[in-house]
Structure 1
């Protein structure tokens, strides 16, 4: 990626932060920020009501022809009021471009879709800047390098009246599995939860892998999904190498195995709709997370002790559930109460963070005069393995978050956010073994659709 691209992205982030009237002065990323343009574009929309800052620009006509385009900037400015070892503020963000090509309209291939997503990230991690030893990011959009990434490049084909979908290419696992919404600023409540606690080998947005996915709608409101993902740490590279978009090609290190997620989804329809996910994963690589003791095994017939830990004899795995459910219907534009509950349990034997739970609510249409404004509240916990070699062993980090989302214009959403993180790191100890206080954090998320 060129220096010009980096500077452009950073300049955009600064500009949006100023526009939002906010300034101040071990991380793994989550999935796509979610606040879609509130209404379709119409010629009667003015500067304030239209869904895109720069207007339609021929987008509607292109979509009719089978090409959908989107360019969005998300920025999170956050400040540490207490906790850690420094009261400071920082920001991070991402500029992402998305394109979808309807192959039925473009080439007469019914059920075919080509998707492309590019993500350019920038900014700093508040946990590092403020010395907060939290397990989860307090500005979730930070992570995986300030570089341009190929996040999606895939072909999808639906068959048998859309009962079967075959999908392959470069994919982030959270695009087809786990809980992918990202409406909060703390990572505990954002994106694919298994990747939040197992980010060393489950790569959430914006990192992608070569993968193949099958979705099968075996009954009304029910779907079974199976995926196979190339497990290769080269996908995490942040270098500007010639093979940047194709890590894993000759000249780079070989894959460590495959990641196989399996998921069953129940999606009740009707006014009180929802998405209930139940699944698990298996990764064939055999590695124990850093911070856990190696387990010494006796080699049969060797008459001695092997230095091979038992993690080398089998892969890693975990199970999860994710429930997103509408509770009330209060208006024609999705107004009402929604709730979510996410639980992930990873292999205790190989995982430093071995479970995470998140529970929360969101209400759309907070005031009658503001039908598209929202409020949200969530509480969660991330547990440190009791076998970990750290004073945080067996502890639980507990973040609490609340926000108000103001749909300022048709194309800009501002989210005013407050977080309180109890026992950051599990028991509040930093890397030097010094106990730190709970952290109070204020922030502002800005989302702009161009």
Structure 2
């Protein structure tokens, strides 16, 4: 039997959220209401009153389950669950202290559980590329995920932010309408995770964004490269605040265009073009293994609403594309591409639900493939060996596909059943393509 995946309080809360599905609709003030904003309610009006005074509190649990239907490295059936608890607070310092255009935030997270991809889908000797549960990773520990302050100048056309944060909070950010890792959120952390840290990891950083025209803005940031931030030995590692082992800085620059009237019948969209340079030394991924002075990446994020259903501006068809190109000398994943479609409000009776279809691809650097071949030949292996512990699986591209339905029971409860297909898990041709069934559950308390 698998080890317990969630601490008892978290397990009880997730079980409670699932029980909601069997309940009848009630008024907005009742516990099981389909209009209920928070599962635990408005605290007799105190929650709304605190928000009006500048204090907004959040608490949520995300659970992602997955089971292998067919294929993968190990076809023995398994059911694996990953979970994440999030506790946060946002502060409007204009209301609280009279600091105009100034906000602050603090966020704590705790992850737990297991990954089906690691347990069944991939060859355990190969480095991990995709994951069928995007919230798995970066350790089963408590983390300080956010602790920052942001202030605006020049009528908020210039915004300055400093503190502890994830890099995709402000650069290479994207929608997350899926459970599969590469189809969810910013892409850089999936391919250059040694220098680009996404949620739930935070790091010291600062950024400035300048809105120089109504539809255009330019952002630049400076973030530490500090391997201590991704240690997972104990909960104290998740609260590392020192900079003793900083190896350099990652500097992203991003140009964003958010047209208000120009395209697609005035439907909203956003287009971002970015680049980064890291000053930290980076090892060559090829046979030479030489040390480079830094590394770079480029990206394109695009999201557009294509259609609108009647007078409801939120219902309709959306599309997104995310592409990343990495430094071939220093990065094992040369590029990633993601294309996704989702339709919000597919039925009049379910205006807040959505249907999603996404396709995403990892392209492994052929210099890495050549090194793996050379390593195996040096050990006397000239073909795939499923048993040898020192055999290095040869990696190529990995393709991920997901079809899902998001059932928004209420603003407080979301369920997302999904079906995933993984072509060449971890890029290893000898591993059978895999079919995975998944279920995401999110509860806002």
Please, what TM-score do these two structures have when normalized by structure 1? 0.84
Determine if the alignment matches structure 1 residue 11 to structure 2 residue 4: no
* Partner of residue 34, structure 1: none
* Partner of residue 71, structure 2: 83
**Aligned runs of 1:245-264 on 2, under 5 Å?**
245-249=239-243, 253-264=244-255
**Aligned runs of 1:126-137 on 2, under 5 Å?**
126-133=116-123, 135-137=129-131
**Aligned runs of 1:120-269 on 2, under 5 Å?**
120-133=110-123, 135-240=129-234, 244-249=238-243, 253-269=244-260
| Higher alpha-carbon deviation: 199-208 or 161-170 | 199-208
How far is the alpha carbon of 1:15 from its aligned partner? 2.6
Aligned CA distance change for structure 1 residues 346 and 397 (closer, same or farther; 3 Å): same
| 1:65–1:105 CA contact under 8 A, matched in 2 | yes
Please, what TM-score do these two structures have when normalized by structure 2? 0.85
C-alpha separation between the residues in 1 aligned to 2:237 and 2:66? 34
* Partner of residue 93, structure 1: 83
* Partner of residue 305, structure 2: 326
| 2:228–2:240 CA contact under 8 A, matched in 1 | no
C-alpha separation between the residues in 1 aligned to 2:332 and 2:422? 19
* Partner of residue 109, structure 2: 119
| 1:147–1:238 CA contact under 8 A, matched in 2 | yes
Superposed CA deviations along residues 214-269 of structure 1, whole A, max 9, x for unmatched, are: 011011111100010011000012233657513435xxx51110011110011112
| 1:13–1:75 CA contact under 8 A, matched in 2 | no
Aligned CA distance change for structure 1 residues 383 and 113 (closer, same or farther; 3 Å): same
Determine if the alignment matches structure 1 residue 449 to structure 2 residue 444: yes
C-alpha separation between the residues in 2 aligned to 1:415 and 1:146? 23
Determine if the alignment matches structure 1 residue 277 to structure 2 residue 277: no
Give structure 2 stretches of 5+ with no counterpart: 22-26, 374-392
SS at match of 2:426: coil
> Aligned residues, how many?
402
| 1:135–1:397 CA contact under 8 A, matched in 2 | yes
C-alpha separation between the residues in 2 aligned to 1:139 and 1:207? 17
* Partner of residue 282, structure 2: 287
Aligned CA distance change for structure 1 residues 9 and 214 (closer, same or farther; 3 Å): farther
C-alpha separation between the residues in 2 aligned to 1:157 and 1:367? 41
Which residue of the other structure, out of 333, 348, 351, is the alignment partner of 1:353? Answer: 333
* Partner of residue 35, structure 2: 49
| 1:404–1:417 CA contact under 8 A, matched in 2 | yes
| 1:6–1:146 CA contact under 8 A, matched in 2 | no
How far is the alpha carbon of 1:399 from its aligned partner? 0.9
SS at match of 2:48: helix
How far is the alpha carbon of 1:128 from its aligned partner? 1.3
How far is the alpha carbon of 1:87 from its aligned partner? 2.2
Superposed CA deviations along residues 81-126 of structure 1, whole A, max 9, x for unmatched, are: 1122132110101110121111110001101111111111111111
SS at match of 2:7: helix
Which residue of the other structure, out of 316, 340, 359, is the alignment partner of 1:336? Answer: 316
Superposed CA deviations along residues 128-186 of structure 1, whole A, max 9, x for unmatched, are: 11142451111111011111110110010011001000000001001000023221111
| 1:263–1:277 CA contact under 8 A, matched in 2 | yes
C-alpha separation between the residues in 2 aligned to 1:124 and 1:113? 36
C-alpha separation between the residues in 2 aligned to 1:42 and 1:13? 20
| 2:231–2:237 CA contact under 8 A, matched in 1 | no
Considering fraction of residues, name the structure with more helix.
2
SS at match of 1:425: helix
Aligned CA distance change for structure 1 residues 184 and 13 (closer, same or farther; 3 Å): farther
User: What is the Cα-based RMSD across aligned positions, in Å?
Assistant: 2.3
Superposed CA deviations along residues 297-322 of structure 1, whole A, max 9, x for unmatched, are: xxxxxxxxxxxx1x33x201110000
How far is the alpha carbon of 1:72 from its aligned partner? 1.0
C-alpha separation between the residues in 2 aligned to 1:116 and 1:43? 29
C-alpha separation between the residues in 2 aligned to 1:427 and 1:333? 44
Which residue of the other structure, out of 367, 379, 383, is the alignment partner of 2:359? Answer: 379
Aligned CA distance change for structure 1 residues 318 and 20 (closer, same or farther; 3 Å): farther
C-alpha separation between the residues in 1 aligned to 2:330 and 2:394? 14
SS at match of 1:115: strand
